[in-house]
Amino acid sequence: MSTPFTWPFSLFAPGNLSQPILPGWSFGNVSVNYAGNADIEKDVVEDVASYGRQLGIITEVVLELAANRSTKKGEPLQQLRDIAAQIKKIKEEHKRSLVEDASDAMAKLAKSDKAEAQRIARNYASKTPKG
């Protein structure tokens, strides 16, 4: 009976080396425990505004109403200002990334099919509102 090459390593490894990376998560299926009517919540999030958008609007209103109020570090209003600034930074980073990705894709397309790249650019330029 021959011993597999992995024999010395198997002495130190656990019996099962498989490990879930994101347990309970699946692409395209986010499950949320709703406090109210799950059908209403689903329709609102899908058709009106995501939770992030709803919170963003509420944050903007609260910060606008409290614009002239100074706060000490650690107070809830200052914490909300800090969170809003961090979210703004993340959005800007993602926007730059999207612009870079689009630019890279158009450059690749232009290299392989210049006429098609120009057609797409004209098509989007005519649909984009100016201002």
- pTM for the whole thing? 0.51
Which domain does 92 fall in, by range? Answer: 70-131
Q: What is the pLDDT of residues 16-72, one digit of tens each?
A: 656 666 665 555 555 556 677 888 888 888 899 998 999 999 999 999 998 877 777
Same domain (yes/no): 54, 76: no
Q: How much is the pLDDT for 68?
A: 78
Q: What is the 3-class SS of 23-50, one letter each residue?
A: CCCECCECCCCCCCCHHHHHHHHHHCCC
Q: Which two tokens stand for residue 28?
A: 């395209």
Residue 29 counted as domain residue: no
Q: How much is the pLDDT for 80?
A: 92
Residue 109 counted as domain residue: yes
Same domain (yes/no): 56, 75: no
Same domain (yes/no): 45, 82: no
8 A C-beta contact, residue 78 and residue 71:
yes
Q: How much is the pLDDT for 108?
A: 93
